Amino acid sequence: MYRYLLLFIMAIPGVIAAQAPPTPAGSTDFSKVTAYSEIAPFLANAQKTSAFLKTTIIGQSVNKRNIYAATFSSGDFGKDSTKVKVLIFAQQHGNEQSGKEAALLLISELTRPENHYLLSRLDIAIIPQVNPDGSEVNQRRNANQADLNRNHLILTEPETKALHAFFDQYLFDVALDVHEYSPYSEDWLNAGFRKNTQVALGAPTNLNVSEKIRNFAADKTLPYVMNQLSLNNYSSFVYCPGDPPGKGYIRHSTFDINDGRQSFAIQQTLSFIQEGMNGTDNFVQNLKQRSLSQMTGMRSLLEFSYNNNIEIRKIVSDERKAMLKEPGSSHISIQATHAGNGRQLQLPVLSVKTGRDSTVMITDYRPIVKSVADVKKPVAYLIPDDLTEVVEWAERQNLIKKPYKPAATDKIERAFVQRIDSIDFEGDIIVNPGLEPKIFTPEEISKTYIEIPVNQLKGLMAAIALEPKSMLGLVTYDKYRHLLRDLTWFPILKLYR
Ligand SMILES: [Zn+2]
């Protein structure tokens, strides 16, 4: 009798599947958002349903709330090199609630036995809420009033530090940063339209991310995920911020590396941003549909990673190995611009007047990122060991570093700041120094230095951060602006051999 009962249960996985735990918002049919206090009980409950799920606390917010990660693995998480490691993280912006709800839905889905096939090729980590303090008061920023998605380079906030420490621990192959966009801007409404795409997706755009990864992400991954969304009746489009015709141009997002997507992409990760739609009240309007569409995008990326397991591991591993080679003659792009490709863009929109789907022709469409200033890649950057704030930055970034030991053949480049001009970067005016570089021998350099080799996984990130003329560098942040001073030597040096 007992034996038959067991067989009965095993034969009908649906019986077990029906037990997938409802998410806190899901159990109210999305009439409210999930509160911070409901996340831990939900995860504990989900963990009872699936032996493959573990919950970890990766860090704490400014106000000491826990940041949770749910990890799914059929073995020892992150240890099996035949598996693609996928990281999905949501709600860096506290007022973008559907990312969190979708992440919780996905966790619930992954406890279902019929989805466990994914774990034969994937290890999956899901962080539903990077910014719990912001979420509780439905505000974009964290409790220090910092925009976490502009903090991945300077890494001053506990939330972004926790996220990067978690990434560094496992070196994920695939990453997805989940957000919401607001389609209700005045400029667009005045033009008579608003964007109406349920899910917008962006691939890496920084030119220093390997071309193979950029192309694979844009040409293989995005079309797959967008097609899956369409099969599930959700509209999707490539992430295209910008202004309506006559007011500005449309581009494929920023190439800055201070956001979630690009900060991992610069470490040669197949890294994406997904943006669902805000409600008009930011909150519960259409929350169910917004969460389900976001969850479908996440889920489709998992399927893509499952289907392309071997190719993804090879591309990521090859491109990361290439980072560890000596610099050779390659160059680093430190300034770039958005350029057109001669084509116009037919952008799907909603007509405010008719309330119907429509399209608008974008003539000023700039999908290409073009480098306008490059530097020859040095062997290392040298930070004066008494330049505490930059040494501490290197520590926060978990960079490989060592005391600089001069060799007779070393050529050391110092940059003299002749003047400080400005330059437009995606609508912001930032510093643009005029520099006069000069080569010195080690004997001519009096201070002691910390050496940051460029041949490390975060070497390109470090180079982009430490170059004085970098559009994305530390000197473009208020905190580090003083490192650039008229008619002085820039304190950080470059080592060539
Ligand atoms: Zn956001």
pLDDT in tens, 56-103: 999 999 999 999 999 999 999 999 999 999 999 999 999 999 999 999
Ligand 1 center from residue 93 Cα (angstroms): 5
Distance CA 222, CA 230 (A): 12
CA pseudo-torsion sign 149, 108, 301, 52: positive
What's the pLDDT band for 17 if we cut at 50, 70, 90? very low
pLDDT at 245: 85
Whether residue 327 contacts residue 455, with contact meaning beta carbons closer than 8 Å, is answered with yes
Model pLDDT, residue 9: 40
pLDDT for position 328: 61
Kindly tell me if the per-residue pLDDT of 425 is higher than 80.
Answer: yes
Contact 435, 416 (CB under 8 A): yes
CA of residue 222 to ligand 1 center, whole Å: 19
Q: Quick one: average pLDDT of 254-263?
A: 97
- Give 406 Cα–ligand 1 centroid separation in angstroms: 45
What average pLDDT score do residues 184-199 get?
89
Closest Cα partner for 327 from 462, 496, 153, 135? Answer: 496
Question: How many Å lie between the centroid of ligand 1 and the Cα of residue 301?
Answer: 19
CA 160 – ligand 1 centroid, Å: 14
Residue 275 has pLDDT above 90, yes or no: yes
**Contact assessment for residue 484 and residue 433, using Cβ atoms and an 8 Å cutoff:** yes
Span from the CA of 278 to the centroid of ligand 1 (angstroms):
10
pLDDT above 60 (res 199): yes
Query: Residue 327 C-alpha to ligand 1 middle, in angstroms?
Result: 35
* CA–centroid distance, residue 397 to ligand 1 (Å): 22
Q: How far is the CA of 245 from the centre of ligand 1 (A)?
A: 24
Q: Give the tokens for residue 134.
A: 């912001």
Which DSSP symbol is given to 34? P
Measured in angstroms, how far is the CA atom of residue 286 from the centroid of ligand 1?
18
Say how many Å lie between the CA of residue 128 and the centre of ligand 1. 13
Ion ligand 1, residues whose Cβ is below 5 A away = 93, 96, 179
The DSSP element (H or E) to which 177 belongs, if any, is strand 174-181
Q: Is the pLDDT of residue 365 over 50?
A: yes
Q: How far is the CA of 149 from the centre of ligand 1 (A)?
A: 7
3-class DSSP assignment, residue 174? strand
Query: What was the pLDDT predicted at 326?
Result: 74
- Residue 16's pLDDT band (boundaries 50, 70, 90)? very low
Residue pLDDT, tens place only, 293-311: 999 999 999 999 999 999 9
> For the CA atoms of the chain, what is the radius of gyration?
24
Based on the number of CB atoms within 10 Å of its own CB, is 343 exposed (0-12), middle (13-18) or buried (19 or more)? exposed
Give the pair of three-digit tokens for residue 74: 């059929």
- Centre of ligand 1 to C-alpha 31, Å, is 22
Centre of ligand 1 from the C-alpha of residue 198, in Å: 15
pLDDT at 59: 98
Q: Tokens for 109?
A: 């889905």
Q: Which domains does the chain have, with CATH numbers?
A: 12-323 (3.40.630.10), 378-496 (no CATH)
133 CA distance to ligand 1 middle (Å): 15
> Given this model, what pLDDT does residue 293 score?
98
Pairwise pLDDT comparison (16 vs 261), residue with the higher score: 261
Q: 275 C-alpha to center of ligand 1: Å?
A: 7
Higher pLDDT: 327 or 26? It is 26
Residue 289: the pLDDT is 96
- What pLDDT shows up at residue 276? 97
Ligand 1 center from residue 336 Cα (angstroms): 23
pLDDT for residue 34 is more than 60: yes
Report the candidate in 261, 283, 274, 264 with the shortest Cα–Cα distance to residue 94. 283
For ligand 1, the distance from its centroid to the CA atom of residue 221, given in whole angstroms, is 21
Ligand 1 mean position to 181 CA, how many Å? 7
The mean of the pLDDT values for the chain is 93
Count the Cβ atoms, other than its own, within 10 Å of residue 171.
17
Q: Does the pLDDT value for residue 464 go beyond 70?
A: yes
How many A from CA of 415 to the centre of ligand 1? 37
One-character DSSP codes across 350-374:
EETTT-SEEEEEESSEE-EEEEEEE
Q: Residue 30, Cα to own-chain centre: how many angstroms?
A: 27
Span from the CA of 235 to the centroid of ligand 1 (angstroms): 19
Q: What is the pLDDT of residue 186?
A: 86
Cα 251 to ligand 1 centroid, rounded to whole Å: 17
Residue 323 Cα to ligand 1 midpoint, Å, equals: 30
Question: What pLDDT does residue 4 have?
Answer: 44
Output the CA 180–ligand 1 centroid distance in Å: 5
State in Å: Cα 276 to ligand 1 middle.
9
Question: What pLDDT, on the 0 to 100 scale, is given for residue 279?
Answer: 86
Would you say residue 6 has pLDDT above 60? no
Residue predicted with more confidence, 6 or 347: 347
Check: CB of residue 367 under 8 Å from CB of residue 241: no
pLDDT at 24 over 70: yes
> DSSP per residue over 187-214, as a string?
HHHHTTEEE--SEEEE----TTS-HHHH
What is the token pair recorded at 87? 């990281």
Q: Could you give the 3-state DSSP secondary structure of residue 133? A: helix
Q: What confidence category does residue 282 fall into, taking pLDDT thresholds of 50, 70 and 90?
A: low
First-to-last alpha carbon distance for the chain, in angstroms, is 78
Percentage of the chain beyond pLDDT 70 is 96
Q: What is the mean pLDDT of residues 339-362?
A: 92
